[in-house]
Amino acid sequence: LLEDLQSSGVWLIVSSTHGAGDLPDNLQPLYDAIKEERPDLSNLRYGAVGIGSREYDTFCGAIEKMDALLSDCGAKRVGSLLKVNILDHDIPEDPAEVWVGSWKDLLQDL
Decide: 84 and 49 in contact? Cβ < 8 Å. Answer: yes
Q: What is residue 92's predicted lDDT score, i.e. its pLDDT? A: 86
Decide: 103 and 47 in contact? Cβ < 8 Å. Answer: yes
Give the length of the chain.
110
Q: What is residue 7's predicted lDDT score, i.e. its pLDDT? A: 82
Q: What is residue 24's predicted lDDT score, i.e. its pLDDT? A: 95
Q: What is residue 65's predicted lDDT score, i.e. its pLDDT? A: 97
Walk along the chain (110 residues) in steps of 10 and give the mean pLDDT of each run.
84 92 94 97 97 93 97 98 94 92 92
CATH topology of domain 2-108: Rossmann fold (3.40.50)
Q: Tell me if residue 17 falls in helix, strand or coil.
A: coil
Confidence (pTM): 0.91
The span from the CA of 49 to the CA of 64, in Å, is 9
Amino acid sitting at position 14: V
- Model pLDDT for residues 32-54, shown as the tens digit of each residue: 999 999 999 999 999 999 999 99
Count of CB atoms situated within 10 Å of the CB of 101:
9
> Where in the chain are the domains?
2-108
